[in-house]
Every structure is written in C-alpha cells, then in structure tokens.
C-alpha cells in the first residue's frame, strides 16, 4: 500500500476532526504546549474595556456579543497576562458606570493618560456600534468622513459620537509606546447578515447627509489639541502619517461589516473571540505580524459563514517596529491553557471559563471530559472532570489533587466524544496508485 503523507492524512480526517471539534489550528497550538515561565513586563499593566449591547435610544439596533467581548478580554488579561483587577476598568451597559460619551472620555483620561507611565502597558478595547461623521479637517481629500464610536447615550436625532480624530488626540497623550487599541466595530451600515448582527449604526436612508460632529465634540478636540500644542495643520499632518501611538487593530476594512456573531451557545464579536481564543492557546510569545496573519485568516472564515466579508486591519505607529513584538507588546505571565477556574464554592460544582476553546470544540465537549489543573509554571497539580457546559462556562468536579483556587488554569486532557460520532475517511485524488487496495483495507475497519 502506498504510504500516506501527513498532509494527505489531514485532508482525509478534516471532516471527522470538525465533527469532534478539532481543527488544524488546535493541532498547531496543542503540539507546542510547553511548561515554561514567560517573560514578565517590568511596568504596570492597564486596560480600559468598553462594551455596549443595548443603547438608550431603542431605535439603535441591539447587539448581543459586546459584553461577552469585554468578559473575554478581561479574563484573558487578568488570568493569562497578569493584569491586576484594579488596573482593568470596565464600562458596559450592565456596570454601574455606564459607557456614556462623557464617561468614556473621562475614563480614558483618568485611567490611560493620568495613570500610565513610560514602560507600562496600556490597552483600550471597544465593542459596540461604529458610525460615520463629517470631518471638518479630513486627512483624505477624497473622503470627508471620519469613523466614530457610538456611546450608549447617543440619540439618532442628536448624535454625540466620539470621532477617530478624538481618539487620536487622546492616544497621543498616553505616556507609553506599549499601547494597543482594539476596535470591534465598523461604520459600513447596520442591519443583519444571516444569524449575525452588524456592528454599524444605520441612520435613515443611504442618501441622507452624513451627520456633523456635535459642538461638544469639536470643543473637546480643541482642548486636547491645545494641550498637545498642535495647530490644525500640524494635527492633520500627523493623522496622515499614521496612528498616534503603539498598535491599532480594527475588526474590518473601511467598507466592510464587523459581525456580531452567534457561536456555540453564545454571541461575540468575531474579531474579539478569535483573538482572545488564540492568545489563550499560543504557548509562547510570537511576533504580532504572525499573530495578526493567523487572526485575519480565521476571521475571514468565520465571517464567510455569515455570508459576510470581514478582513481585520492592523496599523503600527510610524517608525516603530512593533510587528516584531508580541501582541500587547508583552509576553504572557502564565502558561497557555484552554480555560481558567472562575468560581470555587464551598460545596457544589466548580465553575470555569473556556475562553481558549474553539466554538466547534465546545459543541463536542461532553460530560466526562477531563482537564488538567496547572500551576503558574505549567505543572499538573490535579484533574477536573466536566459535568456541564453553557456557552463558554463549564462546570465540573475535582477528580484528582487538591481543590483549585480561582485563577487555576485548565488544559484539556481527555475529550469525551459521543460513541456514535461518525468517522468519515476520504481518499485524496492525488493518490492514483493502489486505490482499490486502500479502499479494501479501510473497509476492514470495524464499526
């Protein structure tokens, strides 16, 4: 019988792997599991996370995955990257501090400008609707518009969006180069695509004029431009040169749509879910260029399932070599993992978060699946058996070792696959010899 090459085997097994929730990305990451201590940042690490599902103006379409995005980022930053809880500020429609225009701007100033020092790490994440407004000082003579973030108190008849121009001025004042902005929104028109909602504000008919920025927005920009001692001409030139600081990642190209997608038992932004999932899995720091390349590939695939074209974008500050640095410009503090323990009650089941697991794998997890409990060096300290699953939240009991504490990492050990899972094997057209013999041998495999 002719020998099977590795790539032939992967082609044969693709359908079956998908049915049990495995992908070639899973193999890539699982094959590189290493028990190693990763480099730590010498400064403090700050994050401002914004998520808006439901807007005050009910004419603005409701989203379903933005709060999940914030939770995914929060757990990744806290439990893998070592951010202190007090250094992660969260504004959502469910928190006491709502993501109004004033609160978002104040939080940026207080948390990322006033606190952050050179050598620190800073992250700004926004998930919600995006919009467009007319830019009085456009950087592209062919386009007079500027992308915006839509705060929770936006009214369709009285827009108070936060313009990209404002974000530039604020970012310019952050006192570290290790600054990352992630925007999981877009401005190419609202609506739905299949089972997914688009994160873009839809205002009336397509031929209606673009909204003007509010007076408060223009006044705010003037204050911060003067703080930076920039003329309008100088500011426009800087904006034409590139982003203000660090790295910026957006969920879609200018004329594309960002998907608020339905996964296995939960909704999330395609960009945020795939990014955070990947960062849970990679065993060691890799260049941003490589991370983004893989992220862009899988985001396109997920968006295509919703009949949508979505290609993430990345930009690095002019003259900087951040493409060779890891995402967020720091290595993770703790080992790679599929999940983390989030609740340990005195009695009853342990609750854990599976942010590092693919959506297809979640479908395949059955009660009885096993996870290894890991310490901060990646050493196995015990074993947890899954008893239930709801979206990204799992439930289980300790089978071996001491009870874990909140923050204990989980790595998949055994997946309990249903006994009736079909095995589909295909013969590649590239195999032209001994095909009949191969079919005969495959036919001998017992059920």
Copy the structure tokens of residue 269: 């932004």
Do 404 and 261 lie in one domain? The reply is no
Q: Are strands 179-184 and 247-250 parallel, antiparallel or unpaired?
A: parallel
Q: What is the C-alpha to C-alpha distance for residues 372 and 134, in angstroms, rounded to an integer?
A: 54
Listing DSSP states for 217-277 in one string gives HHHHHHHHHHHTT--HHHHHHHHHH--SSSEEEESS-TTS--EEEE-SS-EEEHHHHHHHH
The residue behind tokens 């609740």 is 343
Q: Is position 445 within any domain?
A: no
Copy the structure tokens of residue 236: 């426009």
Do 323 and 344 lie in one domain? The reply is no
Q: Is position 357 within any domain?
A: yes
Copy the structure tokens of residue 160: 């108070």
Q: Is position 2 within any domain?
A: no
Runs of H (alpha helix) within 35-191? 66-79, 101-107, 164-172
Nearby residues of 42 by Cβ (< 8 Å), 6 or more positions away: 119
Query: What local confidence, expressed as pLDDT, does residue 295 receive?
Result: 86
Do 320 and 368 lie in one domain? The reply is no
Q: What is the C-alpha to C-alpha distance for residues 95 and 130, in angstroms, rounded to an integer?
A: 21
Q: Is position 406 within any domain?
A: yes
Domain extent for 124: 23-329
Q: What is the C-alpha to C-alpha distance for residues 186 and 188, in angstroms, rounded to an integer?
A: 6
For residues 151 and 162, the answer to whether their CB atoms sit within 8 Å is yes
Do 130 and 215 lie in one domain? The reply is yes
Domain boundary among 329, 358, 380: 329
Q: Is position 383 within any domain?
A: yes
Do 110 and 210 lie in one domain? The reply is yes
Q: Is position 212 within any domain?
A: yes
Rounded alpha-carbon distances, angstroms, from residue 129 to 59, 259, 444: 13, 11, 56
Q: Are strands 370-374 and 162-163 parallel, antiparallel or unpaired?
A: unpaired
Listing DSSP states for 280-306 in one string gives HH-SS---HHHHHHHHHHHHHHHHHHT
For residues 198 and 257, the answer to whether their CB atoms sit within 8 Å is yes
Do 325 and 344 lie in one domain? The reply is no
Query: What local confidence, expressed as pLDDT, does residue 419 receive?
Result: 60
Q: Is position 427 within any domain?
A: no
Query: What local confidence, expressed as pLDDT, does residue 38 receive?
Result: 36
Average pLDDT, 10 consecutive residues per value, the chain (447 residues): 36 36 42 38 89 95 94 98 98 98 99 98 96 90 88 94 96 98 69 42 56 96 98 96 94 63 86 94 91 83 60 90 95 95 92 92 87 95 95 95 95 72 69 75 67
Q: What is the C-alpha to C-alpha distance for residues 321 and 207, in angstroms, rounded to an integer?
A: 42
Do 140 and 199 lie in one domain? The reply is yes
Residue 235: closest CA among 187, 162, 173: 173
Query: What local confidence, expressed as pLDDT, does residue 312 receive?
Result: 84
Q: Is position 274 within any domain?
A: yes
Residue 72: closest CA among 354, 408, 411, 336: 354
Query: What local confidence, expressed as pLDDT, does residue 33 receive?
Result: 40
**Predicted TM-score of the model (pTM):** 0.82
Copy the structure tokens of residue 180: 């990352």
CATH at residue 356: 2.40.33
E strand or H helix at 350, and its extent?
strand 350-353
* The Cα angle at residue 290 between residues 265 and 182, in degrees rounded to 5: 55
Listing DSSP states for 155-176 in one string gives BTTB---EEHHHHHHHHHT-S-
Do 38 and 64 lie in one domain? The reply is yes
Do 119 and 260 lie in one domain? The reply is yes
Residue 159: closest CA among 124, 209, 196: 209
Query: What local confidence, expressed as pLDDT, does residue 320 receive?
Result: 94
Query: What local confidence, expressed as pLDDT, does residue 374 receive?
Result: 96
CATH at residue 189: 3.40.50.1460
Do 354 and 310 lie in one domain? The reply is no
Q: What is the C-alpha to C-alpha distance for residues 159 and 155, in angstroms, rounded to an integer?
A: 5
Q: What is the C-alpha to C-alpha distance for residues 59 and 17, in angstroms, rounded to an integer?
A: 43
Runs of H (alpha helix) within 311-434? 359-364
Domain boundary among 264, 295, 329: 329
Nearby residues of 412 by Cβ (< 8 Å), 6 or more positions away: 30, 338, 357, 369, 370, 371, 372
Do 387 and 325 lie in one domain? The reply is no
Dihedral through CA 264, CA 270, CA 274, CA 275, nearest 10?
-150
The residue behind tokens 């006033």 is 114
Do 86 and 56 lie in one domain? The reply is yes
User: What is the tally of structural domains in the chain?
Assistant: 2
């Amino acid at each position: 019988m002719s020998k099977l090459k590795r790539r032939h085997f992967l082609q044969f097994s693709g359908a079956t792997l998908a049915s049990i929730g495995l992908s070639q990305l899973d193999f890539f990451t699982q094959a590189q599991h290493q028990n190693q201590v990763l480099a730590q940042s010498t400064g403090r690490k700050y994050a401002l996370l914004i998520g808006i599902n439901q807007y005050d103006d009910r004419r603005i379409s409701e989203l379903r995955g933005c709060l999940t995005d914030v939770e995914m980022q929060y757990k990744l930053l806290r439990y893998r990257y070592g951010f202190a809880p007090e250094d992660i500020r969260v504004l959502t429609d469910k928190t006491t501090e709502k993501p109004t225009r004033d609160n978002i701007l104040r939080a940026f100033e207080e948390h990322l400008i006033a606190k952050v020092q050179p050598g620190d790490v800073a992250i700004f994440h926004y998930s919600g609707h995006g919009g467009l407004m007319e830019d009085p000082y456009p950087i592209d003579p062919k386009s007079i518009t500027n992308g915006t973030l839509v705060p929770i108190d936006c009214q369709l008849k009285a827009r108070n969006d936060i313009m990209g121009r404002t974000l530039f001025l604020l970012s310019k004042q952050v006192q570290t180069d290790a600054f990352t902005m992630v925007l999981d929104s877009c401005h190419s028109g609202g609506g739905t695509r299949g089972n997914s909602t688009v994160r873009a504000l839809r205002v009336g008919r397509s031929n209606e004029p673009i909204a003007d920025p509010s007076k408060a927005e223009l006044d705010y920009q003037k204050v911060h431009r003067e703080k930076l001692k920039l003329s309008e001409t100088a500011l426009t030139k800087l904006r034409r040169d590139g982003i203000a600081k660090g790295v910026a990642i957006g969920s879609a190209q200018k004329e594309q749509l960002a998907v608020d997608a339905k996964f296995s038992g939960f909704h999330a932004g395609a960009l945020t879910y795939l990014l955070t999932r990947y960062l849970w899995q990679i065993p060691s720091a890799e260049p941003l260029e490589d991370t983004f390349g893989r992220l862009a590939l899988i985001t396109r695939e997920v968006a295509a399932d919703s009949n949508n074209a979505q290609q993430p974008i990345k930009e690095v500050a002019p003259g900087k070599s951040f493409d060779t640095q890891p995402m967020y410009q720091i290595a993770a503090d703790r080992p790679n993992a599929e999940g983390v323990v989030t609740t340990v009650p005195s009695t009853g089941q342990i609750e854990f978060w599976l942010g590092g697991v693919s959506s297809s794998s979640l479908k395949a997890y059955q009660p009885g699946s096993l996870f290894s409990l890991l310490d901060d060096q990646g050493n196995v300290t015990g074993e947890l058996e899954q008893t239930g699953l709801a979206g990204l939240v799992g439930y289980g009991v300790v089978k071996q070792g001491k009870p874990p504490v909140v923050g204990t990492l989980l790595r998949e050990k055994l997946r309990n696959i249903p006994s009736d899972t079909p095995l589909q094997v295909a013969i590649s057209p590239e195999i032209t010899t001994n095909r009949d013999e191969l079919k005969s041998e495959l036919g001998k495999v017992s059920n």
